[in-house]
Structure 1
Amino acid sequence: MSEPSGNNEPVTIAATTCSALSALDEPLPGTAATALGYVCLEFPSGWGRDVLDGTALGAGLAAELSARADAAGVRFMFIRRPGRDVVRSTRMVLLARTEPGATWCERLEITHPAELLDIVPQVVAGPSPGLGAPVGEPVVLVCAHGRRDQCCAVLGRPVAGALAAEFGDAVWECSHTGGHRFAPSMILLPTGYTYGRLDAAQSADAVRAATAGRVYLPGLRGRSTWDASGQVAEIAVRTLTGTDHLDEFTVDDGTVPVVHHRDGRAWRVDIEKRDLPPRPASCGAAPKPVYPVVATRVTPVGALDRG
Structure 2
Amino acid sequence: MPDFRCSFASVEDDEPIIGTAPTDTEILLVESPGPWGREAVTDNRLPDVVRDHLASLDLKVFLLRRYDGSAGPGTRVFLASATDAGYDVRGTVLDRPEDLLDLDVPAMPAYDGPLWLVCTNGKRDRCCAELGRPIAGLLSQEWPEGTWETTHLGGHRFSGTLLALPSGITLGRLDTANVLAACEAVERGEVPTELVRGRAGRPGVDQVRELNVLAGGDPGDEVIAVPGPVRRQSCGDDKVKATTRFEVRPVG
- Coarse TM-score class (shorter-chain normalised): 0.7 to 0.9
Mapping 1:110-189, distance limit 5 Å: 110-117=94-101, 119=103, 122=106, 129=107, 131-132=108-109, 134-135=111-112, 137-189=113-165
SS at match of 1:267: coil
Match of 2:22 in 1: 33
Residue 174 of structure 2 aligns to which amino acid in structure 1?
L
Compared CA separation, residues 56 and 269, structure 1 to 2 (3 A): farther
Per the TM alignment, residue 66 of structure 1 is displaced from its structure 2 partner at its CA by 3.0
Contact residue 90 and residue 110 of structure 2 kept, 8 A: yes
Q: Where does the alignment leave 5 or more consecutive residues of structure 2 unmatched?
A: none
1:115-164 deviation per Cα after TM superposition (whole angstroms, max 9, x unaligned) = 33455762xxxxxx4x23531x3210111111211111110011111112
Residue 94 of structure 1 aligns to which amino acid in structure 2?
F
Residue 295 of structure 1 aligns to which amino acid in structure 2?
E
Per the TM alignment, residue 183 of structure 1 is displaced from its structure 2 partner at its CA by 0.6
- C-alpha distance in 2 between matches for 1:163 and 1:201: 12
Contact residue 116 and residue 148 of structure 2 kept, 8 A: yes
Contact residue 118 and residue 161 of structure 2 kept, 8 A: yes
Match of 1:217 among 184, 193, 201: 193
Mapping 1:217-296, distance limit 5 Å: 217-241=193-217, 266-279=219-232, 281-296=233-248
Task: Give me the TM-score of the superposition, normalised by structure 1.
Answer: 0.72
CA RMSD of aligned residues (A): 2.5
Contact residue 209 and residue 219 of structure 2 kept, 8 A: no
Contact residue 143 and residue 156 of structure 1 kept, 8 A: yes
Match of 2:93 in 1: 109
Match of 1:195 in 2: 171
- C-alpha distance in 2 between matches for 1:271 and 1:118: 43
Per the TM alignment, residue 272 of structure 1 is displaced from its structure 2 partner at its CA by 3.4
- C-alpha distance in 2 between matches for 1:149 and 1:120: 33
SS at match of 1:79: strand
Q: Where does the alignment leave 5 or more consecutive residues of structure 1 unmatched?
A: 1-13, 123-128, 242-264, 301-307
How many aligned positions are there?
250
- C-alpha distance in 2 between matches for 1:95 and 1:270: 30
- C-alpha distance in 2 between matches for 1:102 and 1:165: 25
Residue 148 of structure 1 aligns to which amino acid in structure 2?
R
Residue 19 of structure 1 aligns to which amino acid in structure 2?
S
Contact residue 33 and residue 45 of structure 2 kept, 8 A: no
- C-alpha distance in 1 between matches for 2:62 and 2:236: 23
Contact residue 54 and residue 60 of structure 1 kept, 8 A: no
Match of 1:65 in 2: 54
Per the TM alignment, residue 195 of structure 1 is displaced from its structure 2 partner at its CA by 1.1
Match of 1:126 in 2: none
Residue 134 of structure 1 aligns to which amino acid in structure 2?
Y
Match of 2:4 in 1: 16
Considering Cα pairs closer than 8 Å and 6+ residues apart, tell me whether 1 or 2 has the greater RCO. Answer: 2
- C-alpha distance in 2 between matches for 1:102 and 1:272: 22
Contact residue 86 and residue 201 of structure 2 kept, 8 A: no
